[in-house]
Amino acid sequence: MTRAIIHVDMDAFYAAVEQRDHPAYRGRPVIVGADPRAGKGRGVVAACSYEARAFGVRSAMPISRAYRLCSRGIFLPVRMDRYEEVSGRIFGIVRRYTDLVEPLSIDEAFLDVTGSRRLFGEAVAIGERIRAEIREHEGLTASVGVAPNKFLAKIASDLEKPDGFVVVRPEEVEAFLRDLPVARLWGVGEKTGAILRGLGIQTIGELSRWPEEALCRRLGTVGEQLHRLGRGIDDRPVVPEAMAKSMGAETTFAVDCEDPGRIRQSLLRLAERVSARLRREGLAGSTITVKIRFADFTTLTRALTLPAAVTLTDEIYHPALSLVHKVPLEGRKVRLLGIAVSKLTPKAAPGQMPLFPSDPRRENAARAVDEIRRRFGEAGIVRLSLLPSGSREAGR
């Protein structure tokens, strides 16, 4: 039986959510990421709308360059909690049609609908229904590729963005690939691309005419992979979502920081973000990792495994702070700070009872804080220790 694979890829997801939530931003260049600070900001672009892309702005671009290209753009901070909330509903839509869903990120996934066709119709009809439901229920657009395998479906979904819908039937594979640039193939980066150009190979069709042995002589094992992909062969299964291996958060300081108080405060904010994500996913973790990047881009990581899995902010923050204290910071400026929690387990999973179990009242309070922030945003409730010093004095 020919497999039926769908690749669903949301269009400019973070920026699209912002435009939907703020109608005044629609049709305007929206850039989600760090504060540009009039071209002197730090960090990178997390996502940008198609209106911003018209100015040359791209994801992962330094935010300072994005500002120079599009100074009149709308620059917004990342609202990860909001994007994850919307993503959860979108994945709820796709899982109505199959249990074989392999998330690639918060905004894209492979679906194997081979066994769903008796119930929902052919793969093309399923892809159209998914795209229509996302538009109807979330007011967002998704680009969809339908093909016999993952490789072809991924290329298809990318060809007519935004709001694209491309179908590749088994008998159309050769014609579909023939004129596409060889850079579309997985595994073709700058180095491999240069070798292929040196061989006179510009398109996938030209690559497919080369004998496998000749490609392997020049490219090693990569040659075998490219030969198969060039003919549209990809036998990899869709692997349903596995439990996340870790959850983390990091921040880049606007100005390199050497103030211990600011570092502690930033660490606490990161611990809050990670803690909220763990609760939302029903997980706990026992290994805490801290990442510190200095002004000279030297990066250090330190990790600590706890006797029991944790989920609350303080349970993450205090071990993380102890790890920071073990790093010699005197005379060094910190550029980036991060926390990750790994060795994750379901919160309700049976296991060894901790010597000092968490007070259920603390967990209830944490969930109440989560709900307030969900309804009123991050500023709805803030720890006193995270307020600016002037605000703390005024509140006494």
Domain ranges of the chain: 1-167, 174-230, 246-379
Q: Which two tokens stand for residue 302?
A: 């330190």
The answer as to CATH 3.40.50.300 being correct for domain 246-379 is no
Compute the CA torsion angle 29, 31, 32, 36 (nearest 10 deg): -140
Question: 165-167 and 142-147: which strand pairing?
Answer: parallel
Q: What's the CA gap between 26 and 31, in Å, rounded?
A: 12
Alpha-helical runs (H) found in the chain: 13-21, 50-53, 63-69, 80-94, 117-120, 123-138, 150-159, 173-178, 190-198, 204-208, 212-219, 221-230, 260-281, 313-325, 360-376, 389-394
Residue 283 is predicted with a pLDDT of: 87
Residue 352 is predicted with a pLDDT of: 43
What is the architecture, at CATH level 2, of domain 174-230? Orthogonal Bundle (1.10)
Worst-scoring range by mean pLDDT, 176-190, 233-247, 254-268? 233-247
Worst-scoring range by mean pLDDT, 55-64, 128-137, 352-361? 352-361
State the chain's maximal CA–CA distance in angstroms: 78
Residue 265 is predicted with a pLDDT of: 92
Q: Which residue has the tokens 């929690």?
A: 341
Question: What are the Cα distances from residue 284, in Å, to 218, 275, 316, 327, 374?
Answer: 48, 9, 10, 26, 20
Question: Active-site residue among 18, 51, 102, 108?
Answer: 108
Q: In this structure, what are the phi and psi dihedrals at residue 237, rounded to the nearest 5 degrees?
A: -80, 160
Q: Do the domains spanning 1-167 and 174-230 agree at the CATH topology level?
A: no
Mean pLDDT across 134-163: 96
Contact 189, 197 (CB under 8 A): no
pLDDT per residue as tens digits for the range 13-25: 999 999 999 999 9
Q: Which residue has the tokens 């801290």?
A: 290
**pLDDT of 384 strictly over 80:** no
**pLDDT of 364 strictly over 60:** yes
Residue 390 is predicted with a pLDDT of: 46
CA atoms within 13 A on the CB side of 258: 7
CA atoms within 13 A on the CB side of 233: 7
Residue 395 is predicted with a pLDDT of: 42
Contact 109, 103 (CB under 8 A): yes
CATH number belonging to domain 1-167:
3.30.70.270
Average pLDDT, the chain: 87
Pick the closest to residue 195 from 178, 225, 215, 221 (CA basis). Answer: 215
Pick the closest to residue 8 from 86, 105, 138 (CA basis). Answer: 105
Q: Which two tokens stand for residue 48?
A: 């940008």
Does the annotation mark 136 as catalytic? no
